[in-house]
Structure 1
Amino acid sequence: MSALPDRYCPTDGTRIPSASLTWCCPACRGPLDLDHHPTPAPLKSLTNRPGSLWRYAECLPLPRPDFTLGEGRTPLVPLTGDVSAKLDFLMPTLSFKDRGAVLLTALAAHLRPDLVVADSSGNAGTSVAAYCARAGLPCAVYVPDGTSPKKLEQIRAHGARVEPVTGGREAAARAARAAADGDGVFYASHVFNPYFLHGTKTYVHELWEDLGGRLPDVIVVPVGNGTLLLGAALAVAELHSAGLIDRRPALHAVQAAAVAPLARAWQQGADDVTEPVAVAPTLAEGIAIPAPPRARQILRAVRESGGAFHTVTEDQIRHAQLDLASQGLYVESTGVACWAATRESGPLGATLAGRSAVVPLCGAGLKSGLAAQG
């Protein structure tokens, strides 16, 4: 295997060698970025490549592992004349998190730790557990109280140890990070480890290929920790720098109104989230993050793209889930947030007339069930 790229802290420039199990900047404890600046292959050269995200090999920081599950290349289907949906719930573990988890697990397999740990409200944990099972790596997943029983069942089925944590999503993250500081532990963090972002970016590489070498005018993304949005921004930058697109799409971010620290910072014109919001119950549990560690990067990416932030109510989420189900698509309540914002009755719908847009449907409805009426 060729040398892997180093990680570095985007705040103070501290560099982390590729072989290190260090999961954050030792100085500021912030998330890391990857010193990896690839050039995508032109469209015509993708013919006869694997029907998975590994077809974009030039853009990935690791070679394809032998435990791949064929992740990626999910269908793109129309919802309206202008809006299409990328069916990322049709991944091996039924969520888009497979895009990043396979990269994290490939890195862990290269480093051979004694234990892989992750924290998750469900989908990232199930994905990391599945790929660790394939790779033969021991895994523990820290989950908050109230995590969907179906997601816990899936994590356990893959052989991972479930570590329930009282106190919500942030408490689970703190517990996992404490464990990650132990010797021989690899932290499969979809927030702090940049390899995850270089997996999620393949979502946009696929859009570019699906649309014949172009991107839609607008890409709408649900945002909690922002890993799909930041991955999208990476891919857009790669394609634009290579001259494979001549314009960049606007990135529009969606949060649940109940837990919307980034949308609040956006409305205030702030560059960062300086204070976490109060945690409130929401159907969009997967994006209910009160203080995203990459908030500054997320806000900058949306601002530089010409996009904006939008919030949706619990009723809008319920109605959007039923609307998608009426079109044959059963999507979990977190995963319908973008459609809630983008459909005609949503906060973004009225501004999209005549503009092409794509929303991701990120998780299968069977993971959490039908949203209950309030």
Structure 2
Amino acid sequence: MLWRCPRCQGPWDLDFHAAPVPLDSLAGRVNSLWRYAEALPLSDPYATLGEGRTPLVPLTDTISAKLDFLMPTLSFKDRGAVQLAELARRLAPRLVVTDSSGNAGTAVAAYCARAGLTCVVYVPQGTSPKKLEQIRAHGAELVVVAGDREATALAARAAADEPGAFYASHVHNPYFLHGTKTYVYELWEDLGGRLPDDIVVPVGNGTLLLGAWLAVSELYGHGLIDAKPRLVTVQAEAVSPLARAFRAGADDLTGSPAAVAPTLAEGIAIPNPARARQILRAVRDTGGTFLTVTEEAIRAAQLDLARRGLFVESTGVACWAAVRETRGPGTAVVPLCGAGAKTGLAGARL
């Protein structure tokens, strides 16, 4: 089944035009991300697990956190995975194939189980044992690839090219992005039809960022917000190809992909993101910027959040690490993307 653009062989985009979501009608709707039906390319879901509608809680006077680790599989990837599983259910493939550093694979495995689909998940060596256990528990076949994240993706794509396979790629398949955009629709609803000055997101392959950009563009285009918030993007200093390109004023990645350095933010350690041009364009379109964080800052941020009652995995604290001591005026929201139970404390690793 087609999973990439036949012309350029890169990720494809969906020709879908969202209708305006009426804010005053949302109170009586289903309490999940499916309440934003006008903005979603699929409707009447079977595979849902009640995903979405995660809490928004203050961390400071100007910064709030959206607790996206409070999802059925304990990460924000459920927003996109339910869209992929629902699409696959309707296409009825022989099997669903995906690749992941952990959270996306777990989410796809869970939603395939819900939809009654056979699932194979490819992961790189070194993936958290707790995530591997979760994937197996959902009944998926697990393939551990001897190599890094890029080698894992290549192995999955080879399997996805086999007849009857559906590639549930959170990078290449745009239905995933239309799932992650509900993150911003929820912010808009919870803030009474407004958005914060800055939406801060971690970026590896850019699935949350690009979903946020879709939502911001739709809300602005429909006249439901007066101005676009800035998209402030965060990468680990150890693996930050997009931040380098942005600072160089480039429209795409510059130079050859560097080797992946060890980092606690393993979920965003992507040296060659397939949607790099779109990511850079999205950030510039909103007047946003890129920030990078050190390993020490990630450790400190994870412990700081834990002391506030929020145990988040190390990748998921990157945004708080970037803004907690340097935040200027204006309001911002950071996502807490994955539960700490998936990986444990950063100080025990790396």
TM-score by length of 2: 0.98
Matched, 1:143 2:123: yes
1:15 maps to none
The whole-number CA distance in structure 2 between the counterparts of 1:26 and 1:183 is 16
Match of 1:332 among 293, 313, 338: 313
Equivalent residue of 2:242, what SS?
Answer: helix
Matched, 1:197 2:157: no
Equivalent residue of 2:235, what SS?
Answer: strand
1:13 maps to none
CA offset at residue 241 of structure 1? 0.9
Match of 1:63 among 36, 43, 56: 43
The whole-number CA distance in structure 1 between the counterparts of 2:331 and 2:53 is 20
Equivalent residue of 1:90, what SS?
Answer: coil
The count of aligned residue pairs is: 348
1:129 maps to 109
CA offset at residue 223 of structure 1? 0.1
CA offset at residue 45 of structure 1? 1.2
1:111 maps to 91
Tell me which amino acid in the other structure corresponds to 2:338: G
Matched, 1:318 2:299: yes
Deviations 1:138-193 (A, max 9, x none): 00000000000000000000000000001110100000011111100000000000
Matched, 1:367 2:345: no
Judge conservation of contact 2:46–2:86 (CA < 8 Å) in 1: no
The whole-number CA distance in structure 1 between the counterparts of 2:19 and 2:207 is 21
Matches within 5 A, 1:240-259: 240-259=220-239
Tell me which amino acid in the other structure corresponds to 1:110: R
CA offset at residue 67 of structure 1? 2.5
1:185 maps to 165
Tell me which amino acid in the other structure corresponds to 1:149: P
2:323 maps to 342
The whole-number CA distance in structure 2 between the counterparts of 1:312 and 1:66 is 40
Tell me which amino acid in the other structure corresponds to 2:155: A
Equivalent residue of 2:114, what SS?
Answer: helix
What is the RMSD computed on CA atoms of the aligned residues?
0.8
The whole-number CA distance in structure 2 between the counterparts of 1:72 and 1:278 is 35
Match of 2:8 among 28, 42, 46: 28
The whole-number CA distance in structure 2 between the counterparts of 1:312 and 1:283 is 11
Give 5+ residue unaligned stretches, structure 2: none
2:141 maps to 161
Shift >2 Å, 4+ stretches? none
Equivalent residue of 1:88, what SS?
Answer: coil
1:288 maps to 269
Deviations 1:21-71 (A, max 9, x none): 200012321000000011222210112100000000011001131221000
Matched, 1:206 2:181: no
Give 5+ residue unaligned stretches, structure 1: 1-20
Tell me which amino acid in the other structure corresponds to 1:356: T
Identify the range of structure 1 (116-125 vs 39-48) with the bigger mean alpha-carbon deviation.
39-48
Matched, 1:308 2:289: yes
The whole-number CA distance in structure 2 between the counterparts of 1:277 and 1:362 is 26
Tell me which amino acid in the other structure corresponds to 1:176: A
The whole-number CA distance in structure 1 between the counterparts of 2:249 and 2:194 is 31
The whole-number CA distance in structure 2 between the counterparts of 1:40 and 1:295 is 28
Equivalent residue of 1:269, what SS?
Answer: coil
Matched-pair identity in %: 74
Deviations 1:320-352 (A, max 9, x none): 0000000000000000000000101xxxx24x2
